[in-house]
Every structure is written in C-alpha cells, then in structure tokens.
Structure 1
Amino acid sequence: MAQGYRSQLDGLRAIATSENSLSRARTAPRYPHPGGSTAIGSNLAYRLGKLRDLGLLQGVWLDCGCAEGGYTEALGAWGAQKAIGVDPERSRIDEAIARKLVNDKKLNRRPDAIEYHCCTDDFPLPDASVDAVLLNEVLEHVANEAATLREIWRVLRPGGHLVVMSPNRWFPFEGHGMRFAGRNFGFPIPLLPWLPSSWSARVMAARNYWPHELRNVVATAGFEIEKVDYVLPVFELYQWLPASV
C-alpha cells in the first residue's frame, strides 16, 4: 500500500507504500531472503520506478535505514542530485562506504554525490536540508516511530516528501519470519499477520500495519496523506511458493 502524506503546517508531503499485492511476477533475476535487503533485481527497479513516475527522483534524498547502500546508490543513479544514507549498524555503513569508493572511481562521480553516516536517533544533518526521505521497509523496525518521524520532519525542506514502504497486514504471509520459543524462523509465515495483534505482536520480528494504522502513524506526525498505492507483488520474492497461492 502506498500512502502520500503532506504536512498540514508547511507543505511537507509523504508517500507511503506497501509491497503486498497478491499478483505474482517472475521477472527478477535474484530474490532476497526473508527480512533481507530488497535492493536487488527487478525489485529495486520496480520501487524506484514508482518514485520516478511520481516525479520525485530529483534534489537531495535521505535514505533512512540504508543498510549496505543499495537504494542510496540507486537513488543517485536514477536522478537524485545527492543521496545520503544513514543506518545504525556500523558494519553496514562500512560496506556502503567501500561500495561508494569503488563506484566513485568507476563512474567518475563527484565524491559528495553519495554520503553515508552511522547514527541511531539524530541525523547529522541541518534542519530543512533534504528534499525527500525514503523509509524503505524501515518504519516497522524502529524503536520509536514518532521520534523517527519527528527527526525526518526536522531535516525535510518545506514542500519535501516522505516515502514510506512498509508491509501491508492484509497480505497473508509475514515476510520477516517470526520469533518463537527463543528461536528465529526466517521464512514467510502464513496467516501470521491476520492473527489478533495481541497474539501476533508476541512472535512477529517486526511490526506489520493495517492500512489505516500506517496512515495514522504518519498523519499523527503532522504529514498529510497525498497518495495511497501498492508497490511490489511480494510473491516475486519467494519463488518457491506454489503458483496457485
């Protein structure tokens, strides 16, 4: 589900999206493991194509929860004048920086076109310094949704956009796996999202939003909904699932 949010105060906009449509695609050459990076194959191209079609791939982008920088690099390649990646895991940022240095040389790219920072709560960026923020399957993992959205609000320029891509609870599989009896099960769990929240929250590895819940979370932070849409058929990621599902 994709949702657009615009600030009710100063024109900040956000577009939140979910990858959970029940159609099936077989075009991606490689597929992520459950809970892994989606920055591979046609998955990445499909998601960035959504942003391109909305005319958003320009200006300065912040990739919040960038992991190894797959989407950060792609944002620059697809039209952003600058892309900044932030992530709390030092090892992932180190890998992203190593990739950046290789690509800077290979592409004869400006060294400041892509940058990375390891941080948790506060972004090392000035107020009103970015045109758009990407939260790609990140909001469901953060410790404090409201605090994360407040920090995003701080760095967004007036008229900027927040794009949220997050699981849709209407989809019958939990793609992050589950925790049970002290063990992690890293494969899609059928029907787990449809259990009552009081039950599923005990075992789910990440949050999973009903559409109205995601709207409320972002709108409460002051953003106005601008667009709601679906992003990627999740069955593309798990090719071993029966085609009749």
Structure 2
Amino acid sequence: MTATRPAGLRAFYENPAVPVASGPERGRRQAAMLARALGPEPALIVDIGCGDGSAAAIAGPLLARHTLVGLDWSQDALRRAATRMGHVVRGELTDGGLPLLDGAVDAVVFAEVLEHLVDPDVALDELRRVLKPRGHLMVSTPNLAAWYNRALLLAGVQPVFSEVSLRGIHGRPGTEVVGHLRLYTARALREFLVAAGFEVVRVGGAPFHGVPRPLRPLDRIACAAPSLASILLVHARRR
C-alpha cells in the first residue's frame, strides 16, 4: 500500500481493525468521476492500495465495463479483497516495485493512500511509470483545510485527520487512530501532482462519514467548494 515503511508502521497497517476508508460516498463520487473520464471504451484500472476491496465493491457497478485490478502490499488485505474483486495482485510503491509494465495501465485509483506514505515522491514516480501517456490518475485524500479544521485551528485545536501518535488520540476530536503521516490542502495537492508530471483536470470534494450527524448537511454543502470539503478528489492525467 505504501512506500518503504518502518516495521512498526507495517504491523500497524496489517491490523484489520485499523479503518481504511473515509466512507462509501467518497467511493461512489470517485468512481463516477472516473467513469465519466474513461467513457465507453473498456479500460484497465488498477486500484493501488485497495485494502480489503470494500471501496472497489462500491465502485464496481459504475465501472462494470472496465477491468478493475486490486493491488496492495498486504497479503491479508488481498485475501479479503479477493472476495470482492475479480483480480488482485501484490506490489509495493517502491521504485519499480509495482508488478506492471511501463505504460500498461489506462487508469489508477489512488484512494486514501497518499496521506499514509513515507515517500510520496517515489510513489507518484511509480504511478506515472505504469500509466499510459494521458492515462488517468484518481486521487482522494483528507483535506487539511476542511471547513471544520479551519475553525479548530483558530481555536488552537489539532485538526481532524492529523495525528501525533499511532498509539492514541491527542489534542484533536475523534476516536480512531488511522496512521496519517502527512496531509494536503487542495492547493498543495494540485501543485504536488503537477510537479510529479501530471496535469490536473478537476478537483472535487466528498463528505466524511466521521462528521457528527448534525453537521453532515454542512459537510455535504462544503463539497461544492472543494478547498473546504472533508475529502479531496482529484482527477489528473499523465503528461
């Protein structure tokens, strides 16, 4: 699922109890964005960091005409993903670590992975390698500048999604430790992708299932302004 990690992080992500997704709505919105980008011609899509395949199962009906392959470094995750996806394969986001030929893939789904990476630069180099020229990259990641995080920072509170420890929650709302190592704003993510050799086509937003129920209508409204949304959705193409 990620570039080279210390052994402690590896054990952390092998734990099936660690949450791996931001909610089904993100999966549906990202799949719809990709389906529109691909059009009617059958394509090869690789879901890199597929985890247990739950997000792919949500996306499946919207991408039914295409071939969807799940890829992860965790054998345990792949065993679970195999019950939800037709094709799974093991690989790592190291230099040359993906078991795919140069320019072999029409589209890569890179959902809820970027925030966990020790070395995102090497990871994006590898994604660019396996994508065809003008191939599609669909990225989703939590938004450091989500509407509620802006208010929390003003109040001196650690933002949601950010973590200071893998052992517990300190200084921020929430109850789950999920192993986020870095976070992005919409501007930072766009600039990062461009610097890595991609053209950003569209930036969208998705809600987060962890937002308290009374605030969820506001969270959905914020998706209309992606820089304020809980989850950033980016469609980019390899240059």
TM-score higher than 0.5: yes
* 2:24 maps to 1:52: no
**Partner of residue 20, structure 2:** 36
* 2:217 maps to 1:232: no
Which of 136, 157, 160 is 2:135 aligned to?
A: 160
Pairwise CA RMSD: 3.1
Instruction: Map 1:114-153 to 2 at 5 A.
Output: 114-120=86-92, 121=94, 122-153=97-128
Deviation string 1:162-208 (CA, Å, 9 cap, x unpaired) is 1111122211345546334x732299738xxxxxxxxxxxxx83311
Deviation string 1:205-238 (CA, Å, 9 cap, x unpaired) is 3311122211222111111222222x2122x443
CA gap of 1:228–1:44, structure 2 versus 1, over 3 A, is closer
Q: Which has the higher contact order (CA 8 A, sep 6+)?
A: 1
Would you say the 8 A contact 1:73–1:83 is kept in 2?
Answer: no
Would you say the 8 A contact 2:54–2:84 is kept in 1?
Answer: no
* Alpha-carbon distance, 1:64 to partner: 0.9
**Partner of residue 45, structure 2:** 61
The alignment partner of 1:91 has SS state of: helix
**Partner of residue 185, structure 1:** 169
Would you say the 8 A contact 1:135–1:165 is kept in 2?
Answer: yes
* Alpha-carbon distance, 1:155 to partner: 0.8
CA gap of 1:243–1:38, structure 2 versus 1, over 3 A, is closer
Would you say the 8 A contact 1:34–1:175 is kept in 2?
Answer: no
Aligned length: 183
Question: 5+ unaligned residues in a row in structure 1: which ranges?
Answer: 1-32, 101-113, 191-203
* Greater than 6 Å deviation, 4+ residue runs: none
**Partner of residue 87, structure 1:** 72
Aligned mates of 2:39, 2:132 — CA distance in 1: 14
Question: 5+ unaligned residues in a row in structure 2: which ranges?
Answer: 1-16, 150-158, 219-239
CA gap of 1:243–1:66, structure 2 versus 1, over 3 A, is closer
TM-score, with length taken from structure 2: 0.64
Aligned-residue sequence identity (percent) comes to: 25
Aligned mates of 1:54, 1:45 — CA distance in 2: 14
More helix by share: 2
